Amino acid sequence: MNTIASGRRGAAPPLHAGTTPLDLLGDFSREQLALVMECSAAMWRGFEAMRAIQQRAAQEVSVRHRAAAHHLRRAAQPADLVAMPATLWQGDLEAAARMWQALAEAALEVQLEAAQSACSHVVDAETALETAAAIDSIDLAPQPPARVRRAGGARATRRRA
């Protein structure tokens, strides 16, 4: 039973052919943000599906309890007063088990959708290779010069101790 509607659109379109390494890094950031938004959308769709599952379960139990209350008001036999709550509780436990199973299925669907989204964006080999090449080709900020130690620094520390 698929309770979550898939809203994935796939990877974002690539940039133009003559892009610079900084453009590729910007594209990588855009892809990462798109991945986060798709996972967020999957999570919210999962919340909607879980709420619907809980609402259906509550409605079913409510109808059953209303019918039991009506039946108990008209019960002629004392045995009905004992049997009805036991039957009702058994039905409640079965309904709760079905609801938890459906909730677990919905949670697994959310996880599956998020994993599929991550694989389609993050593990795209072509984009990953382009981004790695872009990172390698950028000359990062120059390294700061090594700290120059003062001549008496080590001796001054020993004297204080």
What percentage of the chain reaches a pLDDT higher than 90? 31
Predicted local distance difference test score (pLDDT) of residue 18? 61
User: Rounded to an integer, what distance in angstroms lies between the CA atom of residue 69 and that of residue 57?
Assistant: 18
On whether residue 37 sits in a domain, the answer given is yes
pTM, to two decimals: 0.58
> Is residue 61's pLDDT more than 90?
yes
Asked, for residue 15, whether it belongs to a domain, the answer is: no
Average pLDDT, the chain: 76
Asked if the structure places residue 152 within a domain, the reply is no
Residue 110 has pLDDT above 60, yes or no: yes
DSSP state of 141: S
Please name which of 133, 137, 135 lies closest in space to residue 125, comparing C-alpha atoms: 133
**Quick one: pLDDT band at residue 144, thresholds 50, 70, 90?**
low
Q: What is the pLDDT of residue 124?
A: 58
Which structural domain range is residue 33 located in?
21-138
What is the band of 77 on the pLDDT scale with cuts at 50, 70, 90? Answer: confident
Q: How far is CA 115 from CA 33, 78, 93, 111, 123, in A?
A: 15, 57, 33, 6, 11
Give a yes or no: residue 10 inside a domain.
no
Could you tell me which residues come within 8 angstroms of residue 18 by beta carbon, excluding any fewer than 6 positions away? none
Number of domains in the chain: 1
- Residue 28 CB contacts under 8 Å (≥ 6 apart), including other chains: 127, 131, 134
Give 19: exposed, middle or buried? Use CB within 10 Å, 0-12, 13-18, 19+: middle
| Residue 39 belongs to some domain of the structure | yes
Residue 119 lies in a domain: yes
Q: Tell me what pLDDT residue 12 has.
A: 46
133 contacts: CB under 8 Å, gap ≥ 6: 21, 24
- Look-up of token digits 């008496």: 152
Q: 131 in a domain, yes or no?
A: yes
- Token pair, residue 127, equals 């984009």
Mean pLDDT calculated for residue range 63-87: 85
**Is residue 81 included in any domain, yes or no?**
yes
Residues 90 and 67: their CA atoms lie apart, in Å, by 15
